[in-house]
């Protein structure tokens, strides 16, 4: 199995755990908690900032000494928009499930920005349609670069069955602004219906001999996490199975500037 593919555990509790150390990189962390009613997840941000995303279900949240009340609502990631909470460095947080709850914990270095805890409700989220034809997908911006944070960029995407996404292939692995930014990235995937599968390829440019430093093609199942340390990273959803993914990105500068694969650039004009 590819080292870029993290299989979430079955059952409940913390079912996926990605740290900068385990991923072999510097910035992005990602945890997934699957909780029964009454169960709790908690943590301390320490020198990192966190974005909690209520992927499904409801829970009572506290952060930074504040009682944030009952958050969440949708029971499927394929319906509506999520509730989220931004939590700065140096804060405690906890969530107690009111229903079956799937909670993502997205993290990256805090930079001393002094930002407050804030609830990000569905009405605060912008949505957009990207692509056309069988490259159409639906994007919900949870923590885009136009909203306050130190390092984190968080977005969720729904790709209909039979469509491609993160396509034409693009990358953001060079700290070369204004042309390209360096961002590590995780994809948390869900399928509808859940017995389906999709595909994701993570690959770098070929050298003069046609060799690539990284070239991994993975079959993605419901609940999988894919690590993107560098390179292009397109996805393909199979016919009959819609694909949801939650993206977490972070790097030395909080901006998303990507570079399209030159051989596929023509697709942008087709």
For the question of whether the overall pTM of this predicted structure is more than 0.85, the answer is yes
Q: What is the 3-state secondary structure (H, E, C) of 227-243?
A: EECCCECCEEECCCCEE
* Domain span holding position 47: 3-266
User: Nearest-CA neighbor of 227 among 82, 13, 21, 50?
Assistant: 21
Q: Is the Cα torsion angle 16, 161, 206, 260 positive or negative in sign? A: negative
Rg (CA), the chain: 18
Give me the residue label for tokens 């990000």.
120
**pLDDT score of 270 more than 80:** no
Report d(CA 145, CA 108) in Å as an integer. 14
The helix (H) or strand (E) run that includes residue 32 is strand 29-35
pLDDT confidence tier of residue 42, bands split at 50, 70 and 90: very high
Residue-level pLDDT at 96: 98
3-class SS at 223? coil
3-class SS at 35? strand
Residues 6+ apart with CB under 8 A from 114: 88
**pLDDT score of 175 more than 90:** yes
Beta bridge mates, 62:
67, 94
pLDDT in tens, 85-117: 999 999 999 999 999 999 999 999 999 878 999
Query: CATH no. for residue 118?
Result: 2.60.120.10
Residues 6+ apart with CB under 8 A from 250: 27, 28, 108, 109, 151, 152, 153, 183, 184
Residue-level pLDDT at 124: 95
CB of 170 closer than 8 Å to CB of 259: yes
pLDDT in tens, 25-37: 999 999 999 999 9
Q: What whole-number percentage of the chain has pLDDT above 90?
A: 95
Average pLDDT over residues 171-190: 96
Average pLDDT over residues 1-7: 93
Report d(CA 152, CA 74) in Å as an integer. 23
pLDDT in tens, 47-66: 999 999 999 999 999 999 99
Q: How many domains does the chain have?
A: 1
Residue-level pLDDT at 112: 87
**pLDDT score of 231 more than 90:** yes
What letter would DSSP give residue 131?
A: S
Average pLDDT over residues 143-149: 95
Residue-level pLDDT at 268: 85
Average pLDDT over residues 240-250: 98
Task: Kindly state the tokens that stand for 195.
Answer: 């017995």
pLDDT confidence tier of residue 3, bands split at 50, 70 and 90: very high
Task: Write down the mean pLDDT value for the chain.
Answer: 96
Longest alpha-carbon distance in the chain: 59
pLDDT in tens, 190-223: 999 999 999 999 999 999 998 999 999 999 999 9
Average pLDDT over residues 137-153: 97
User: Nearest-CA neighbor of 231 among 266, 258, 255?
Assistant: 258
């Amino acid at each position: 199995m590819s080292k870029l593919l993290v299989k979430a555990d079955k059952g409940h509790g913390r079912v996926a755990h990605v740290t900068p150390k385990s991923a072999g990189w510097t910035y992005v962390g990602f945890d997934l908690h699957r909780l029964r009613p009454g169960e709790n997840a908690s943590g301390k941000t320490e020198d990192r900032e966190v974005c909690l995303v209520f992927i499904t279900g409801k829970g009572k949240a506290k952060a930074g000494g504040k009682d944030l009340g009952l958050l969440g609502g949708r029971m499927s990631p394929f319906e509506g928009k999520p509730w989220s909470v931004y939590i700065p460095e140096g804060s405690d947080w906890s969530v107690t499930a009111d229903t079956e709850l799937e909670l993502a914990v997205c993290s990256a270095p805090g930079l001393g920005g002094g930002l407050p805890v804030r609830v990000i409700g569905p009405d605060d989220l912008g949505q957009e349609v990207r692509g056309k034809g069988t490259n159409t997908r639906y994007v919900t911006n949870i923590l885009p670069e136009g909203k306050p944070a130190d390092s984190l960029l968080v977005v969720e995407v729904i790709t209909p069955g039979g469509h491609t996404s993160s396509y034409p292939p693009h990358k953001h692995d060079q700290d070369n602004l204004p042309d390209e930014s360096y961002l590590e990235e995780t994809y948390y995937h869900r399928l509808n219906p859940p017995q389906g599968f999709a595909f994701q390829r993570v690959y770098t440019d070929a050298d003069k001999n046609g060799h690539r430093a990284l070239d991994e093609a993975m079959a993605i199942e419901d609940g999988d996490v894919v690590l993107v340390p560098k390179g292009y990273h397109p996805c393909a959803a199979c016919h009959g199975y819609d694909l949801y993914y939650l993206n977490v990105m972070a790097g030395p500068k909080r901006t998303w500037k990507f570079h399209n694969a030159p051989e596929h650039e023509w697709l942008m004009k087709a």
